[in-house]
Structure 1
Amino acid sequence: MFSLKKGKKRMVALCLTAALSVGSLTAYAATEYWNDASTLPGYTTKTVVSQNTDWAQWKANWDKIKVNYEQVALTPGADFSKLNFGWYSKTKVDNAIVRVANNKEMKNAKEFKGTCQAGTVIGGVQYYTNKVTADGFQPNTTYYYQVQINGQWQDVHEYKTGDPHNFSFMYVGDPQIGASKGQVPSDGSSKQTEDTAARNDAFNWNKTMNNALAQHPEIDFLVSPGDQINEPAGDGNAEKIQSQEYEYSGYLSATAFRNLPQAVAIGNHDCLTPGWKNHFNAPNLFTEEANPTAAGHGYYYTYGSALFIVINANNYNAADHKALIEKAVKANPNAKWRIVVMHQDIYGSGLDHSDSDGIILRNQLTPIFDANDIDVVLQGHDHTYARTYQLTSKAGQYDDFDEFKVAGQHGQHHNLLDEKLKADKAFKDYYESQNRCYTIADMKQGTLVNPDGVFYMTSNSATGSKFYNLIEQKQDYVAARSQTWRPTYSVINITDEKFTINTYDAETGTPIDQSYSIVKK
């Protein structure tokens, strides 16, 4: 069983009750609940991915793992036939190169060339960001690829394609490597530093990934709604940048990523530096975005009959998101499924965000989703699990609270809004009234056929680096919610007619909620 660190539970409960009574949204729970890697059991799944699963070995190797900045990140391409590659290098080359073959010996391999540009300075050393797109991939086929880094061909890795008419992906919430900073491990050692927190959380991340793929080998790629790492590093401090890159190294160290593409959103902890866009080679970047963050832009891609639109919700200019969604839909008018991925949860149920910054975009985004026939919105940010009913927008004029968007822009924690909600009861009532901008269109459970509205999901932490409490009273839009204080992940299966989501405990593989499906006929 995953170990849960808790302290002074009764006092925390009293603090939370008092906080709720006055509308305070300070994150008491965030510093109380986490998973301590030093107390985790051995790796017990049937398929052993032997590397990176033993805590003692992981600790011994951490100083090497954290400085392995040159790990390759696979990303879904613009469509099923393409695969994107991104990685760091110490040397500048005219063309980044990847080669792909249908055999391990790489005979008759095809070379694909891309870009190599100045990226991040880490510990005084200039690193370059390399990006390549390979194409020509066919369904249900095994390929092998090899990346050239610093003039040397790296190890050969396998990549298997799935069935674009019947595929599955893993949906995870906020890995946030390094978020357990300040916690005290069970072994009695001192509070975790940025370094030891990254070590703890990256180990648990490897465990979750290995377990999930052993339990569900049908997974074709990964979707994350953001906060891959914890250190914002927004002030450009060289030491903080290095800590952030330690966290990226820990995140990318998951052995699964040598074979598994990942489509990740920009979270509020990712958004302040270029690290995200330097590591990940996202397709169809929305460079027209008027208010981008330092990390980059939203983007879109298709996989079979599904269109995925990943918006950069740290940008509070909803016009940018509207333009991206409309552009993606126009480019793919026949997509059967339209799925938005975003970090901030506008329909969540966590104490820390769901009734503050989590809803500041709700009254703007909800009608945009409706107008563009979005089916599903996958969210993170709140470190709790919540599944909604089918929701539609409610006609009316709503306050967009522009005065708080400046404070909340680019990943801040919206302190200005929190303080106003805490101090002014009349404003809090008004704020909440302006976010009753939705209608519950369908409350059926199980399998829904041609339902109205949009389905919203908020994922819990996939690493246990940080958990939040649920808000005291469940919102009326929530069909199911939970806080198990254990890492979870979801598997979403999509066919040309059916969308199905199931969510599991990361250690045991046991479902934590009933299955939910949408059928389109």
Structure 2
Amino acid sequence: MKSLIKIPVLSLFITLTKAKEVCWAEKFGFKCCKENHIDNVSDSDGDWAQENGDWCGLKDYQEKECWSEKFGVSCCPEYTKINYSDGDGDWHYNYATGEWCGIREPYASKCWAEKHGYECCLENHLDYVTDKYGKRWSEENGKKCGIATTQEIDYSSTAETCWTKSYKLVSFYNCCKYDYINPNDDSSGFGKWFNFKVNGRTYTVCAMKNGYPYWNDRERYDETREQWNDFKSKWGEGKEIDVNNFERLSVVPGKDESQLNFGWYSTTTDYSLIRFGTTKYLTKENEVRGTNYKCKAINGTQYYCNQVTVIGLEPNSTYYYQRNLNGNWEESIEFKTHDPYNFRFIFLGDPQIGASHNVLSIDKYIDDDESLRNDAFNWNMTIYNSYSKANEASLILSAGDNTDSGQSPSDRDILRYPDELEYDLIKQEKEYSSLLLPELMQKVPFASAVGNHESFTASFRYHFNTPNSLEVESNNQIPGYDYASVTPGYSYFFKYNNVLIIVLESNYGTEEQYETLLEKACSTYPGVDWRIALFHHDIYSNGFNHSEEERVLLLRQWLTKLLYKNKIDLVINGHDHIYSASHFISYDINNSNQYKYNITEIERNKIYKDHKGTMYITANSSTGSKLYKTKDYDMGYLYFYNQTYSSTFGILDFKNENGKVQMKITSYEVDTYNITDGPYIFEKDANEISFNTTTTTTTTTTTTAKKSMTTTINIISTPESCWSLPDYPCCRNKKTDVVYTDDNGNWGIENENWCGIIRESEENTCWSLPDYSCCKDKNIDVIYTDNMGNWGIENGEWCGIIRESMMEEICWSLPDYPCCNNNNIAVVITDDKGNWGIENGEWCGILKE
């Protein structure tokens, strides 16, 4: 479409010399008719009528020459859609038969029905009749009309009937007459157009009436004009909304609903502190200290990454927290937890903030800063509207591509343009600043996958303090930077009430890594009712751009089996900037298709009890910064798909009542709250223990670390190390029968899976589990020491060096809590495990004498 916009105005005055018409009927000894005739007959040679008692051929009814025959390909029937174009012309490929046909070249011609005394229909009509000559007829405004087969320019176009008249840069173009004839030039940033071609050359164009640029341009909406103008007035360097502020706070879920993770950039190293408590007026007694490390320099300023985890949150409670930024305490922020039996998540597709650059707006092409401002406003609107519709959601889930920039390192020649590299990387940080701009995101935890646009830098993991993280390293390297490869982010997992969320890094992960992640997540939280996987690449959709690319098909091959094996109920993807919902998909090794999947059909508004298989949803762009097309043929595995050309969001609604748990999935349009799909409803029998399934709970009120705050201690009930990890979980029932014994130990079976039977006594407990295994070589060198113990490296991985000391030195409170450094610390509480104290705002186990 860029070539369209650049056509000089003079091209509108080009006059084509019309070649002398040749009458096709002359080769049969007849003349062509001088007038149009309604009463006519047709044979294999063409259409005939009578004038003055003599037969004559009807000129316009004769089919145009089939240009594709010179390539050995026949021309398509009328009304065939274009799905491929090259320098020779327009083509259609039939995926069912594997055959090509050529689309006859259209040109600005009169309506074919006029020669019969009728006009062509202006609107699209589903009801039509086909006459014996193959022509389609319908009715409009009580009059018979013919369905046009060639496009025409509507020279009567006005601002009321044609969008181009309101767009300054293309206002000299008219709209096309028939919107039901498909465009042959379709670009989301520039709109939908029809090019008239003669012998493969474009001479003039018209715009489709409803084909305005279909990115979410806020300038087009009168309903939000006041808010948009106010936002623009506050935007800019040094103003209230300054995206050069790179120190915005991110709030991420912790390992479970009782924990909360914080992350942020700072320019100092000394203040990784959060105050957290039940009163707005927090003091030093409420402080929780985290970690801080040197991460990146931006515009010559060195930034440090801070990560803090707060524990002990309870449901249906109100808390307050403060961040210490560079030595200064900020204002307190209210944070609420919700009902664990009745709660909601928001799910979102690609925000891709900053993607709407260099596209057509009302009076200009949008530059980088204007696109950032437009997308930031739309993101704010999505966050606040979705939160309102969800009635205070507990979590926000994003399928990734939160930012648009940062892909320049993928260009191996970028070292030739260092200024462009630096500009792109700084622009990505401005997009992260825009992402974290909504104040509501400091009150609702945000969990995101890593998108392909975020996969060439480490910025994602710098900003987000993810729980239970498994590093996924790429082979990429930013040219000019002194590290071997980039770790953009992590695969990770966490539990929220009775839901397990598993986030896969889908850019670089391997089949083995995904298998390890899924098994570890499911064995860590075995008692949940729902399992949800979140990752970027859409492996079951029909997006035009990505749904059949190489990486997507490889992930489909790996994950169809793994997700089904691990009983994942729902998968949420993005990537293609369209919306789709699959049927239930299960894995069957005996299936004849390449990916071994079976389909169980799904419907809206129907309750599925104990469903078989996984449902895959591809979420559309949540800002509308980029909106793509869908493929127009049946993929088989989809129940529904659409493209609303607007910002959208989804809600997962969870209920636990009368021994039943239910998950309801519904999607909405941001601006109108109109339902765009759903609801889909799944139901199961509730597990007996849905919350804290692996823990025993003791509650105490402490005024030491969290003043006047009720704190819950979660203590793992397995005192010995699980020797069978990471390949298999340990048996949870200590009376499980021994089925098999090898050099590793005794094995049993639980839930149809192998499990290791925990040894009754083991002097050298592996204190570093479950995050890291213990070193097999007892003489390994100590590389690093912290308050947990000594660490070594085996096979390129950290491992805990087993203590050779007496049992009283073993830290019995691991892996959930460390042991106290000060063994003379005051005892806050005692349970059947031992004595507990508090250090640095966190529970710790007091070593036994």
* Class of the TM-score when normalised by the shorter of the 2 chains: 0.7 to 0.9
What is the alpha-carbon distance in structure 2 between the residues aligned to residue 96 and residue 243 of structure 1? 26
Matched, 1:158 2:334: yes
* 2:219 equivalent in structure 1: 38
Where 1:520 maps in the other structure, the secondary structure is strand
Pick from 294, 303, 320 the counterpart of residue 513 of structure 2. Answer: 320
CA distance in 2, matches of 1:36, 1:115: 41
Tell whether the 8 Å contact from 1:385 to 1:481 is kept in structure 2 after alignment: yes
Aligned to 2:471: 287
Pick aligned residue for 1:519 from 683, 687, 690 = 683
Partners of 1:268 and 1:28 lie apart in 2 by 24
Residue matched to 2:579:
385
C-alpha distance 61-444 of structure 1, shift in aligned 2 (>3 A): closer
1:412 aligned partner: none
The reply to whether residue 194 of structure 1 matches residue 368 of structure 2 is yes
Asked whether 1:213 is paired with 2:387, we answer yes
Could you tell me how far apart the structure 2 residues matched to 1:513 and 1:205 are? 21
Query: Which has the larger Rg?
Result: 2
Distance in 2, matches of 1:211 and 1:242, equals 29
Q: Which of the pair has the greater relative contact order for Cα pairs under 8 Å at 6+ separation? A: 1
Matching residue of 1:417: none
2:566 alignment counterpart: 372
Identical residues among aligned pairs (%): 33
Structure 2 counterparts to residues 280-359 of structure 1, below 5 A: 280-287=464-471, 294-357=487-550, 358-359=552-553
Q: Which moved more, 1:357-366 or 1:137-146?
A: 357-366
CA deviation string 1:219-275 (max 9, x = no partner)? 111000100000024428222111111111111112221211100110001111011
Q: Secondary structure at the match of 2:306?
A: strand
Most deviating of 281-290 and 113-122: 281-290
TM-score after normalising by structure 1: 0.83
Counterpart for residue 621 of structure 2: 461
Q: Shift in Å at residue 197 of structure 1?
A: 1.5
1:127 aligns with 2:308: no
> Aligned partners of 2:559 and 2:389: how far apart in 1?
35
SS across alignment from 1:504: strand
8 Å contact 2:452–2:507 — kept in the other structure? yes
Q: Name the aligned partner's letter for residue 384 of structure 2.
A: N
The one-character-per-residue Cα deviations of 1:54-105 (angstroms, maximum 9, x if unpaired) are 3343354233421111110100110000011011111122x50000121222
1:271 aligns to 2:449 (yes or no) = no
Displacement after TM superposition at 1:156 (Å): 1.2
**Structure 2 residue identity aligned to 1:152:** N
Q: Which residue in the other structure is 2:406 paired with? A: 232
Counterpart of 1:92, as a letter, is: T
- Cα deviation code 1:356-414 (max 9, x no counterpart): 2433311111001111111111111111111111111231599xxxxxxxxxxxxxxxx
**Cα distance in 2 between the residues matched to 1:230 and 1:383:** 13
Distance 2:467 2:92 in 1: 42
Answer yes or no: is the 8 Å Cα contact 2:655–2:662 preserved in 1: yes
Letter paired with 1:36:
D
User: What corresponds to 2:428 in structure 1?
Assistant: 244
| Counterpart among 654, 658, 667 of residue 494 in structure 1 | 654
Q: Matches of 1:193 and 1:20 in 2, distance apart?
A: 36
* Contact 1:122/1:238, CA 8 A, preserved across alignment: no
The correspondence for 2:264, drawn from 84, 87, 97, is: 87
Assess, with a 3 A threshold, how the Cα gap between structure 1 residues 246 and 290 changes in structure 2: closer, same or farther.
closer
Mapped partners of 1:396, 1:316: distance in 2:
26
Amino acid across the alignment from 1:450: D
Residues of 2 paired with 1:182 and 1:288: CA distance?
A: 33
Report how far residue 19 of structure 1 moved. Answer: 8.1
Specify the SS of the correspondent of 2:235: helix
Gaps in structure 2 of 5+ consecutive residues: 6-80, 96-184, 191-213, 415-420, 476-484, 686-849
Asked if residue 180 in structure 1 is aligned to residue 361 in structure 2, the reply is no
Conserved in 1, the CA contact under 8 Å of 2:474 and 2:508? no
Deviation at 1:208, TM superposition (A): 1.2
Deviation at 1:471, TM superposition (A): 0.9
1:474 corresponds in structure 2 to 634
Deviation at 1:109, TM superposition (A): 5.6
Q: Matched residues in 2 for 1:275 and 1:166: separation?
A: 35
* Counterpart pick for 2:554 among 360, 367, 370: 360
C-alpha separation in 2, matches of 1:28 and 1:277: 37
Residue 238 of structure 1 aligns to a residue in which SS?
helix
| Runs of at least 5 residues in structure 1 that lack an aligned partner in the other structure | 1-6, 45-49, 399-432
Root-mean-square deviation (CA, aligned residues, Å) is: 2.5
The structure carrying a bigger helix percent of its residues is 1
Kept in 2, the 8 Å contact 1:37–1:55? The answer is no
With over 3 angstroms needed to count, the CA separation of the structure-2 counterparts of 1:83 and 1:20, relative to structure 1, is farther
Are the equivalent residues in 2 in contact too, given 1:100–1:109 (CA < 8 A)? no
Q: Helix, strand or coil for the counterpart of 1:367? A: helix
Q: What residue number does 1:47 align with?
A: none
Give the aligned partner of residue 448 of structure 1: 608
* CA distance in structure 1 between the aligned counterparts of 2:406 and 2:588, rounded to whole angstroms: 36
